[in-house]
C-alpha cells in the first residue's frame, strides 16, 4: 500500500481507509468502492430504522449487538 492523500491506499484496486485527523491511525478497515457503497447503503437503512423508533444510534447498536449475540465493538 502506498501513502497518499488517503493514508492507507491500494493503488491496484483503489481500496483505502482514511485516518483520524492529525494522526496516521486508520478510521476503519481498508475497503474498495463496492464495499464502501454497500456500507453506505447499510448505514442508510440502519439509521432510518433507529430514527423511526426514536432511539439513539448508541442504543440501536447496543440492541443490535445484544440481539446478534456479538460484542458491541465488533459491529462498527
User: What pTM was computed for the model?
Assistant: 0.70
- 3-state secondary structure (DSSP) of residue 15: strand
Task: Give pLDDT, residue 76.
Answer: 66
What is the domain partition of the chain in residue ranges? 1-31, 34-76
Task: Give pLDDT, residue 6.
Answer: 58
Proportion of the chain in helix, strand, coil states, percent, rounded to 5: 45, 15, 40
Task: Give pLDDT, residue 58.
Answer: 94
Written as tens digits, the pLDDT of the chain (76 aa) is 444 445 788 888 889 998 888 888 888 889 999 999 999 999 999 999 999 999 999 999 999 999 999 998 887 6
Query: How is residue 31 annotated by DSSP?
Result: B
Task: Give pLDDT, residue 1.
Answer: 45
Amino acid at each position: 500500500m502506498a501513502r497518499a492523500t488517503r493514508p492507507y491506499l491500494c493503488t491496484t484496486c483503489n481500496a483505502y481507509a482514511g485516518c483520524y485527523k492529525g494522526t496516521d491511525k486508520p478510521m476503519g478497515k481498508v475497503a474498495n468502492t463496492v464495499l464502501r457503497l454497500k456500507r453506505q447503503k447499510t448505514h442508510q437503512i440502519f439509521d432510518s430504522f433507529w430514527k423511526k423508533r426514536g432511539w439513539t444510534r448508541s442504543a440501536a447498536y447496543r440492541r443490535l449487538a445484544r440481539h446478534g449475540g456479538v460484542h458491541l465493538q465488533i459491529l462498527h
